[in-house]
């Protein structure tokens, strides 16, 4: 049988009330965007592009789409700051790049990739990151240019509540791809949590927590309450489970089960294993996911966690 190549993308673990017209409208926009972006990404993978290029490409598209919490539309921090986190990994070589607290650059995943390819380091933060970004000549926006009405409203709501919810971030994005040569890459990009402290870093830019790829076993991108995901090193834990013989789906199920045992352990993840099988799991009501494999005739796009589980089961 021909090698399976696959692409799976997510738009962040979340719980919200669809009776709220603003949430319902955002949900609709996300659904349309995922359907469009999986198609565009698939065209690239199907014509033979490398998994790393497809992962960066689809995440760039998600970052440009304001209904997601990444790039434009990122979550607004307590001081109304925009600080983006991202990481990317190539499973063939374990080469990876990451950045936390990125200011002014919507394509955070491309900053992570540039760190991977143009420096001898894995991760940059602070002034050094800023200087690196300037030297590369990335376009820089002001924080206000990232604000959307949706994120402003969320910020106002939390401000009035005078409390920061455990998982106050919805719409982080991520992607995992396995190309026709068997190379697996993964990436994650986020604005983090609404009302986060300046300087707060979640799981998304941490290799092993938010993102991991090893082409011998699989690739993973996580979403959810970063403070808890970090504690169980969720992305690499999943890859270890695959190494131990579990499928990508079983590995996701076990990781989310472990996450759920922690206080406010809310989140989700997507994965592809070395045979190209996709997996995903989450413990909030929504995990927007789209996936396509060379065994399918058309992409699957799901939002609701129970429909997602049904679709994944049907494809096994």
Query: Which range in 46-54, 140-148, 201-209, 244-252 contacts ligand ASP by CB under 6 A?
Result: 201-209
SS3 63: helix
Binding mask 2-31 for ligand ASP (x = CB under 6 A): ----------xx------------------
Q: Is 276 in the site for ligand ASP (CB under 6 A)?
A: no
Instruction: Identify the residue among 190, 221, 248, 249 touching ligand ASP (CB under 6 A).
Output: 190
Percent helix, strand and coil across the chain, each to the nearest 5: 35, 25, 40
State in angstroms the smallest separation of the CB of 300 from ligand ASP. 21
- Say if residues 72 and 55 touch (Cβ distance below 8 Å): no
Give the residue among 128, 127, 98, 124 at the shortest CA–CA distance from 113.
Answer: 98
| Cβ proximity of 143 and 151 under 8 Å | no
Using the rule CB under 6 A, which residue among 218, 224, 233, 299 binds ligand ASP?
224
**Should residue 223 be labelled a site residue for ligand ASP when binding is judged by CB under 6 A?**
yes
- Smallest gap from residue 35 Cβ to ligand ASP (A): 21
> Toward ligand ASP, which CB reaches closer, 227 or 253?
227
Residues 6+ apart with CB under 8 A from 307: none
Return the structure tokens found at 264.
């406010």
Identify the DSSP state of 235: H
CA angle (236, 257, 9) in 5-degree steps: 55
> Is 202 a binder of ligand ASP (CB under 6 A)?
yes
204 is a site residue for ligand ASP (CB under 6 A): yes
> Nearest distance from residue 200's CB to ligand ASP, in Å?
8
Asked if 169 is part of the footprint of ligand ASP (rule: CB under 6 A), the reply reads yes
Answer yes or no: 172 catalytic.
yes
CA dist 246 and 220 (Å) reads: 14
Annotated catalytic residue: which of 4, 65, 119, 172? 172
The residue (of 211 and 293) whose beta carbon lies closer to ligand ASP is 211
* CB crowding 56-76: b at 16 or more within 10 Å, else e: bbbbbbbbbbbbbbbbbbbbb
Taking alpha carbons only, the member of 171, 186, 181, 298 closest to residue 248 is 186
Contact between 228 and ligand ASP by CB under 6 A: the answer reads no
Q: Is there binding between residue 234 and ligand ASP (CB under 6 A)?
A: no
Q: Catalogue the active-site residues.
A: 172
Query: Residue numbers of the site for ligand ASP (CB under 6 A)?
Result: 12-13, 169, 172, 190, 192-193, 202-204, 223-224, 226
């Amino acid at each position: 049988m021909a090698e399976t190549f696959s692409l799976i993308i997510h738009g962040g673990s979340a719980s919200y009330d669809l009776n709220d017209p603003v949430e319902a409208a955002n949900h609709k926009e996300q659904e349309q965007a995922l359907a469009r972006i999986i198609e565009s990404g698939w065209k690239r993978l199907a014509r033979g592009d490398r998994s790393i290029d497809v992962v960066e490409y689809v995440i760039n598209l998600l970052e440009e789409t304001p209904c997601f919490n990444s790039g434009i539309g990122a979550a607004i921090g307590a001081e109304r700051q925009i600080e983006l986190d991202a990481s990317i990994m190539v499973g063939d070589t374990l080469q990876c790049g990451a950045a936390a607290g990125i200011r002014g650059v919507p394509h955070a995943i491309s900053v992570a990739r540039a760190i991977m390819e143009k420096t001898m380091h894995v991760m940059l933060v602070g002034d050094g990151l800023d200087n690196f970004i300037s030297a590369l000549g990335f376009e820089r926006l002001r924080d206000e240019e990232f604000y959307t009405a949706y994120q402003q409203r969320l910020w106002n709501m939390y401000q009035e509540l005078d409390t920061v919810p455990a998982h106050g971030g919805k719409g982080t994005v991520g992607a995992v791809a396995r190309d026709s040569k068997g190379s697996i890459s993964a990436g994650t990009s986020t604005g983090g949590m609404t009302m986060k402290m300046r300087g707060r870093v979640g799981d998304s830019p941490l290799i092993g927590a938010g993102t991991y790829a090893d082409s011998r076993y699989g690739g993973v991108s996580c979403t959810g309450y970063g403070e808890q995901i970090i504690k169980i090193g969720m992305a690499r834990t999943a890859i270890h489970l695959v190494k131990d013989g579990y499928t990508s789906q079983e590995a996701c199920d076990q990781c989310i089960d472990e996450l759920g045992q922690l206080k406010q352990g809310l989140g989700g993840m997507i994965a592809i294993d070395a045979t190209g099988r996709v997996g995903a799991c989450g413990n909030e009501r929504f995990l927007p996911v789209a996936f396509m494999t060379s065994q399918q005739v058309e992409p699957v796009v799901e939002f609701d966690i129970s429909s997602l589980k049904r679709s994944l089961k049907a494809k096994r």
